[in-house]
Amino acid sequence: MNRVFLKNRAAIPFDDLPSISYEAVGDIVAGSPFGGMRLVTLFGVPEERDVVRLVALFADDAQGTLAVTGVRTSRGATLPSLTPKMPVFHLFERQAREEFGILFDGHPWPKPVRYPHDAHTPRRIEECYPYFSMEGDETHEVAVGPVHAGVIEPGHFRFLCDGERVDHLEIQLGYQHRGVEKLFREGPLALKSALAESVSGDAAVAHATAHAGIVETLGDTVIPDRAALLRAIGLELERAGVHLGDLSALCNDIGYLPGTQMFAVMRTEIINTSLALCGCRFGRGLITPGGVNYDIDDRKKDRIARTVIRVRDNAGLLAAAVFDDQSVLARFEKTGTVDTATARAIGLVGPAGRASGLSCDIRLTHPTDAYARHRFAKRPLRNGDGRVAVSGDVYARAFIRHQEIQDSLRYVLELIGHLAAAKDGIAVSVAAPRPGMIAFSITEGWRGETLHAAVTDDDGATRRYHVKDASFHNWFGLALAVRDNGVSDFPLCNKSFNLSYCGFDL
Amino acid sequence: MTARALNVLFLLIIPFLMAGVINRVKALAGGRKGPPLLQPFFDTLKLLRKGAVVSRVTSWVFAVAPALVLAATATALLLAPGVGRVQTIAFDGDIVLCLYLLGLAKFFQLISALDTGSAFEGMGASREALFSVIVEPSLFLFAGTLALVSGTTSFGGLFTLVGSGAWPAVAATTGTLLFFMLMLTEGCRIPVDDPNTHLELTMIHEVMILDNSGPDLAFLQYAAALKMYLFALLIAALVLPVDIAPFQAAVVLPLVALLCALLAGIVESLVARFRISHVPQFLFLTVALALIALAAAVYFRGGAV
């Protein structure tokens, strides 16, 4: 047996992890003759002395199952790199090299991910950070950041350009590394909700839900129906709010004033609804392990429903106008395209993956809590041609935001309808984490799958905590999307992904 | 004399008002109140009182460029037909000097941007240079056509559209469209450029003045506003009646300029910006308009040409 099958939000004894060779991990991934599963994450768990256990998690989206396996290796060991054949391993191998000094033979670009240097060769920073370069008469490099215009996060972008055309973009992150995974290990895991909310501030509900899922899985606790409903309401409001804000920002990037202003107004209405729900416009403080912190009464329920209906209808009307405007379509269409094969190869997740034609949505394929109890259904909206937009360009990534706003707000209304019947309280106490377990919890945040994983030691304390934000996969998608596009279209492509710097840097 | 004094007075006020009107129109269209109409003027006063930061890697070019750009643009404005088509300075062939003064201003703006050594400013300069290469022929072609018909190379006579057949109407229509498009282009407005963006990679004019601060920045912003006013003046010279009374002209001219700003504001409120690679197509349209005017001149004037 080379892998153990399990469901989302499940835990198995850490000792039950299979031990296979690293090459065999590659065989499990889709595209190989024996496998057919998607790599979700790969991370190292340090054990006694120099032993490191690499844990790989896979997902079968058609079957709704996860599979986990392990590779026993040691610090400083050399493993054959799987990246040349399967690019999805690219960043995971770099991460393992920098954290444990494991060398991957044949890895094409073994730079550190977020530290000044890797664990294997502690050298000077400059030596560890080579950049791609290109020679030619008309070629030039444009370096942007890490300090940007406007109040945004730091990241370094190095464009290799041929005139106005981008040949390659190298994205260097790591400036926001705060030691999140280490902080999760210090003290009781159940008290780390605020930390989870800070992994990426715009996806606070998603990360808090994933973290609560870990605590509940390790404590073998099932949350009340009412809590599950309120969590899903919070999560969908977060999704709709960010998508509305992003549509506004996309319009702003192309100088399209009506969209910029009107979407921004609706975003405010939605995040103010989150404020009514939990006292924070960004959904902080709503989720707690075992349930939620805030209940809503009937008056508040009606108010929220009224706002949601209004925004749903207005956003639908506005989107219909925006996606019918020739000057907008001229900018969105065929800009920053990621085709389906590329998206699958690099493991795009979330709306970006769906816009490229992948059917990855944890809410549908690996549902938990409210999504398992009250079926979440997507109604595919059709664009002007009557097709579902999966062209993988900025248009598709913008149009899918519009679709998801409608889906989310409709689902919120359904959930509000179920609230009357759910009178089982908003939280239960969670039992202490079971010792010696490894647990996984995946939540579909607005940006895509948000994974938290934890390993407990013999006392039930957290031995390893692992976070993988959707941005971890998707930044590379942005780098590929801007190839052969005008350098002036980069901001537009960037906004269409709207990835998290701190969610990547951890 | 009064007309000349008014020309200079308008030069100091109307460019700021035009920028203010555009901002106000956009604000109203977006459901906001918007800043005062004279906010660009107040901003300029504020910048003039500030100190300037100059990078150590720049040369004398960067230091003199802002003043030179403003001086050249303002002089070009004095040559242009103002109130009642009266030029503040006029002589035979002044149109050539006017266009070349604009060229001189642009040249110094470009090399000043290159002087900073910044990759962003280099890209902005490259874009500006490309667009100028297309804009200049259309401007010269149209001016040449007018000169051909009127037999004069001074702005004053150039815009006196008297003649047979449909020629005055064709010239006024193509000229107004052409100058309005050039006003949007040279004024760095949407759909060619976005004056409000903070994204350096997409900027054209704004990125070229990133390193300028204080009075230098005020000079360059004023010069950009002056260029918009210049094209508004040319439109006014084309469309206002030839026999307009001086005091009427003094009232109507600012109104035409503000109407141009109003239209520019409406355009900005309604359409998205072009992809940069599509801007040349838009600019070639101005060349086409100039060619239409030339063809019309030949057709309607026949032997007279």
CATH code, domain carrying A68: 3.30.460.80
User: Is A196:A502 a contact under the CB 8 Å cutoff?
Assistant: no
Q: What does the block give as tokens for A269?
A: 């209405």
Q: What does the block give as tokens for B103?
A: 């060229």
Q: What does the block give as tokens for A148?
A: 């940007």
User: Is A408:A273 a contact under the CB 8 Å cutoff?
Assistant: no
From A82, A113, A144, the end of a domain falls on: A113
- Which stretches of A173-254 are assigned E, i.e. beta strand? none
pLDDT at position A121 is 66
From A113, A133, A158, the end of a domain falls on: A113
How far CA A177 is from CA of A92, A117, A406, A501, in Å, comes to: 16, 13, 35, 9
Distance CA(A35)–CA(A235), nearest Å, equals: 33
Distance CA(B221)–CA(A179), nearest Å, equals: 46
Handedness of CA A27, A31, A33, A39 (dihedral sign): positive
Is A421 within a domain? yes
> Which of A142, A257, A491 has its CB closest to that of B26?
A257
> Which of A141, A143, A150 has its CB closest to that of B198?
A150
Residue type, A498: N
Residue-wise pLDDT tens for chain A (506 aa)?
688 889 889 999 998 899 888 888 888 886 655 557 888 999 999 988 889 999 999 998 888 889 999 999 988 889 999 898 888 899 999 999 888 888 899 988 888 888 877 666 666 767 777 888 888 888 888 888 788 877 788 999 999 998 888 999 999 888 889 989 999 998 898 899 999 999 998 999 999 999 999 999 999 899 999 999 999 999 999 999 999 999 999 999 898 988 999 999 999 999 999 998 888 999 999 999 999 999 888 889 999 999 999 999 999 999 999 988 888 999 998 899 999 889 988 889 999 998 998 888 888 889 888 888 888 887 776 666 666 678 889 999 999 999 999 999 999 999 998 988 888 888 888 888 999 999 999 999 999 999 999 999 998 899 999 999 999 989 999 999 999 998 889 989 999 999 999 999 88
From A86, A113, A140, the end of a domain falls on: A113
**B229 φ/ψ angles, rounded to the nearest 5 degrees:** -65, -35
What is the value of ipTM here, to two decimals? 0.88
Contacts of A328 in chain B (CB under 8 A): 272
Query: What string of DSSP letters covers B51-65?
Result: -----TT--HHHHHH
Distance CA(A490)–CA(B196), nearest Å, equals: 17
Element (H, E) at A229: helix A225-253
Write the burial class of residue B291 (CB in 10 Å: 0-12 exposed, 13-18 middle, 19+ buried). Answer: middle
Is A414 within a domain? yes
Contacts of A160 in chain B (CB under 8 A): none
**A52 φ/ψ angles, rounded to the nearest 5 degrees:** -125, 130
pTM listed for this prediction? 0.91
B83 touches chain A (CB under 8 A): no
User: DSSP code of A373?
Assistant: H
pLDDT digits 0-9 by tens, A341-368: 899 888 899 999 989 988 888 888 898 8
Q: How many CB atoms sit inside 10 A of residue B148's CB? A: 14
Helix (H) and strand (E) counts in chain B: 11, 0
User: Is B143:B102 a contact under the CB 8 Å cutoff?
Assistant: no
> Which of A149, A251, A331 has its CB closest to that of B275?
A331
Binding-face residues of B in 187-226 toward A, CB within 8 A? 190-191, 194, 196-202
Reported for B38-41, long-range contacts at CB under 8 A and 24+ positions apart, including other chains, are B40/B16, B40/B221, B40/B225, B41/B13, B41/B16, B41/B17
A92, A193: one domain:
no
B305 touches chain A (CB under 8 A): no
Which residue of chain B has the CA closest to A490? B201
Best CA proximity match to A144, nearest among A168, A123, A170, A119:
A170
What's the CA angle centered on A68, arms A67 and A70, to 5 degrees?
Answer: 150
Distance CA(B254)–CA(B240), nearest Å, equals: 12
B120 touches chain A (CB under 8 A): yes
Q: Tokens 């956003």 — which residue?
A: A315
User: Is A209:A284 a contact under the CB 8 Å cutoff?
Assistant: no
> Which of B29, B197, B201 has its CB closest to that of A257?
B29
8 Å CB contact of A255 and B276: no
B33 touches chain A (CB under 8 A): no
The angle, 0 to 180 degrees and rounded to 10, between the axes of the packed helices A298-322 and A394-419 is: 160
Q: What does the block give as tokens for B256?
A: 């035409």
Cβ neighbours of residue A372 closer than 8 Å, sequence gap 6 or more: none
How far CA B263 is from CA of A275, A339, A381, B281, in Å, comes to: 41, 41, 36, 21
Average of per-residue pLDDT across B135-150: 89
Write the burial class of residue A198 (CB in 10 Å: 0-12 exposed, 13-18 middle, 19+ buried). Answer: middle
Kindly report the average pLDDT of chain B as a whole number: 89
Per-residue confidence band for B305, with pLDDT thresholds at 50, 70 and 90: very low
Best CA proximity match to A335, nearest among A493, A488, A477:
A493
Q: What is the number of domains present in chain A?
A: 2
Contacts of B197 in chain A (CB under 8 A): 253, 255
Q: How many CB atoms sit inside 10 A of residue A3's CB? A: 21
Chain Cα centroid distance, residue A264: 23
pLDDT at position B8 is 93
Is A149 within a domain? no
> Which of B32, B191, B199 has its CB closest to that of A491?
B199
Query: A–B: how many Cβ contacts below 8 A?
Result: 85
Distance CA(B303)–CA(B234), nearest Å, equals: 27
Best CA proximity match to A447, nearest among A357, A353, A378, A368:
A353
B50 touches chain A (CB under 8 A): no
Interface test with B, best of A147, A165, A257, A262 (most B CBs within 10 A): A257
Q: What does the block give as tokens for A414?
A: 């359904």
Is A368 within a domain? yes
Which domain covers residue A488, as residue numbers? 180-505
Is A120 within a domain? no
pLDDT at position B157 is 80
Handedness of CA A352, A357, A358, A361 (dihedral sign): positive
**B157 φ/ψ angles, rounded to the nearest 5 degrees:** -85, -25
Average of per-residue pLDDT across B217-223: 94
Contacts of B119 in chain A (CB under 8 A): 140-143
Which residue of chain B has the CA closest to A145? B200
Q: What does the block give as tokens for A363?
A: 């809410």
Residue type, A238: E
CATH code, domain carrying A443: 1.10.645.10
User: DSSP code of B302?
Assistant: G
pLDDT digits 0-9 by tens, B73-104: 999 999 999 888 888 898 888 888 999 999 99
Contacts of B190 in chain A (CB under 8 A): 255
